[in-house]
């Protein structure tokens, strides 16, 4: 029953991720924690890595060639998140950072239109690493930056960044003994759900691309921010 529930969660969340460009870990992690805490963080990260690879391969030609600037920001952002977690309680960080993301969503909804140039990508990549580490809401910075781009460009570009971010996170977990061969075997159980969700995302992404990319990005980013705020208030 646990395996079935986990597969249903991952399938649905992977379908959303494949259609919009982010959201698997954002939506799945809270649910997987309820199903079985063993599924988080390592196996969930592997599932996120798998869907990112599939999406990137499907729309590889649409990747922004400046993406490497965002990737360069991941390591310092992750390090900054770890450093801040060492001195500030996690619930306080979640509350503050969730409110910051909500502010960014509100500005974006009010026609704030950052251009995805080198400097903006470096900042967004750093923010992705930082927010992923400090509050588990790494998707919104890059998604909001590309919110006015075409769906294929957004999905493929975010996927490249998420691949790098997942590898960094898994490497860090392995280094501190929180991801081992047992976690890897557990991760394999989730992969059929990832593949099923990816296949379902095909028709869904066509609906998203038909004028709904930006609303979907704003909605998912708001969900991430509200979840972080609630975690800070209730944690």
Residue 76: domain span: 2-234
Note the residue count of the chain.
Answer: 235
For residue range 139-182, what is the model confidence (pLDDT) as tens digits? Answer: 999 999 998 888 999 999 999 999 999 998 888 888 888 899 99
Closest to 77 measured CA to CA, from 164, 178, 155: 164
116 contacts 150 by C-beta, under 8 angstroms? no
pTM for this model (two decimals): 0.89
Q: At 50, which helix (H) or strand (E)?
A: helix 42-58
Q: Which residues contact 216 (CB under 8 A, 6 or more apart)?
A: 19, 20, 208
Mean per-residue pLDDT, 205-221: 89
Q: Domain total for the chain?
A: 1
Mean per-residue pLDDT, 67-82: 92
To which residue do tokens 């075997």 refer? 185
Mean per-residue pLDDT, 86-109: 87
Instruction: Count Cβ atoms below 10 Å from residue 60 Cβ, excluding itself.
Output: 12
170 contacts 78 by C-beta, under 8 angstroms? no
Q: What is the mean pLDDT of the chain?
A: 91
For residue range 114-129, what is the model confidence (pLDDT) as tens digits? Answer: 889 999 999 999 999 8
* pLDDT range class, residue 132, cuts 50, 70, 90: confident
pLDDT for the residue 173 = 84
* pLDDT range class, residue 133, cuts 50, 70, 90: confident
């Amino acid at each position: 029953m646990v395996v079935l529930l986990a597969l249903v969660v991952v399938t649905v969340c992977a379908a959303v991720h494949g259609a919009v460009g982010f959201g698997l870990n954002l939506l799945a992690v809270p649910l997987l924690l309820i199903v079985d805490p063993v599924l988080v963080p390592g196996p969930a990260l592997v599932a996120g890595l798998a869907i990112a690879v599939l999406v990137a391969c499907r729309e590889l030609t649409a990747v922004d060639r400046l993406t490497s600037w965002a990737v360069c920001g991941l390591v310092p952002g992750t390090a900054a998140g770890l450093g801040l977690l060492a001195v500030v309680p996690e619930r306080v960080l979640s509350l503050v950072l969730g409110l910051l993301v909500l502010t960014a969503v509100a500005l974006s909804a009010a026609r704030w239109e950052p251009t995805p140039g080198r400097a903006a990508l470096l900042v967004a990549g750093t923010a992705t690493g930082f927010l992923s580490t400090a509050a588990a809401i790494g998707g919104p910075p890059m998604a909001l930056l590309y919110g006015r781009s075409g769906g294929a460009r957004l999905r493929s570009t975010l996927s490249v960044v998420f691949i790098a971010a997942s590898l960094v996170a898994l490497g860090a977990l392995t280094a501190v003994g929180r991801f081992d061969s047992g976690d890897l075997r557990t991760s394999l159980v989730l992969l059929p759900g990832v593949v099923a969700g990816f296949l379902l995302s095909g028709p869904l992404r066509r609906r998203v691309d038909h004028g709904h990319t930006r609303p979907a990005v704003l909605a998912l980013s708001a969900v991430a921010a509200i979840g972080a705020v609630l975690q800070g208030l209730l944690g």
